[in-house]
Amino acid sequence: MAGGVGGSRFARGVRRAFPDAELTIIANTADDITVHGLRVCPDLDTIMYALGNGHDPVRGWGRRNESWAVLDELVTYGVGPSWFSLGDRDLATHLVRTEMLAAGHRLSAVTATLANRWLSSDPLLSLLPMSDDRVETHILIADSAAPGGRKEVHFQEYWVRWHAEPEALGVVIVGLDAATPAPGVIDRLAKADLILIAPSNPVVSIGPILGVPGIAEAVRQSSATVIGFAGILGGAPVLGMAHRLLPAIGVAVDAASIGLHYGPRTAGGVLDVWTMDLRDTSTAPAVEQAGLRVAVADLVMSDPDATAAFVHCAVKTAWP
């Protein structure tokens, strides 16, 4: 289970660690947004490009050798949103997706078609959206000009436009309650040997996936071993804005608290093992006391080999 930028790095590391395993990536789609009439699925695309070696490794999202002619023109036309960067190469993906969705195809089928270009050299790898239903995360922020002094903005606006600077007063995942898991999701979870929860944002990446009705239950009931990975290292996220959103759901910004938030399967949670960074060792006992096994490793995803190393370490803790 993975979000976008961090999730894609994690997935590359998992692939490096287990190159011959049947690997299914269940991606968050609650970051999805419609801009300029195009349906954009940032996490699906980031993962697809990264696993297909077409990503921009410096930015972490979007396509390598990207150009921006269309966006320049849209800005010249004065058509917003100007804060959402659509590269030319990336835009082609959205055109294909939007046209296929408009023709009645489900997001999972569209994703399979797009992934066919990027991932076909790895036939044991598959990429599934968490759901075919429209789910979009909104962040509640203070706005003195709005009625009631607060307003909801799309997660992309909160993050890309406002750089997560406004305090998040709440997180509303529109459509989540009514969503159903995409075809294959429940089956893969049930049949898996190992379920890995990426060190992605617990609020807006992993949270929505586990929030699709049926998915957390499938994780709980699976015969797989479930291993989670902390994205908070030494009290701060390596990537993204989890530290700005965790308070909105009442979770402290530290690795142990997130492990306890996911919780042990033995007590209604989703984890068997929680993997924390070396610098968070001191908080491990509290996690173990709650019923989780703890793996400790250097969790900096500096490259796929480094990521593969900590994945191996965590799996060894799970399967000694």
Determine if 82 is a binding residue for a second copy (CB under 8 A): no
Are the CB atoms for 14 and 39 separated by under 8 Å? no
- Under the binding rule (CB under 8 A), the answer on residue 89 touching a second copy is yes
Give which of 52, 188, 18 is closest to 122, Cα–Cα: 52
**Residues 112 to 171: which contact a second copy by CB under 8 A?**
114, 117
* Among the residue ranges 25-33, 84-92, 152-160, 180-188, the one whose residues contact a second copy (CB under 8 A): 84-92
Smallest gap from residue 83 Cβ to a second copy (A): 16
What residues numbered 29-48 form the site for a second copy, per CB under 8 A?
Answer: 36-38
Long-range contacts of 83-90 (CB under 8 A, 24+ apart): 83/157, 83/160, 83/161, 84/33, 84/35, 84/40, 84/156, 84/160, 84/161, 85/160, 86/35, 86/36, 86/38, 86/40, 87/62, 87/63, 89/62, 89/63, 89/65, 90/45, 90/62, 90/63, 90/66
Distance of alpha carbon 268 from alpha carbon 52, whole angstroms: 36
If we measure between CA atoms, which residue out of 144, 135, 310, 103 comes closest to residue 205? 135
Q: Which is nearer to a second copy, 96 or 160 (CB)?
A: 96
Is residue 88 near a second copy by the rule CB under 8 A? Answer: yes
Q: Segment 179-208, which members bind a second copy (CB under 8 A)? A: none
Closest to a second copy by CB, 17 or 74: 74
Out of 70, 153, 253, 306, the only residue in the binding site for a second copy (CB under 8 A) is: 70
83 binds a second copy (CB under 8 A): no
Contact 70, 91 (CB under 8 A): yes
Residue 109 lies near a second copy (rule: CB under 8 A): no
The interface region with a second copy, picked from 71-79, 127-135, 182-190, 295-303 by CB under 8 A, is 71-79
- What is the binding site for a second copy (CB under 8 A)? 36-38, 67, 69-74, 76-79, 88-89, 91-93, 95-96, 98-99, 102, 114, 117
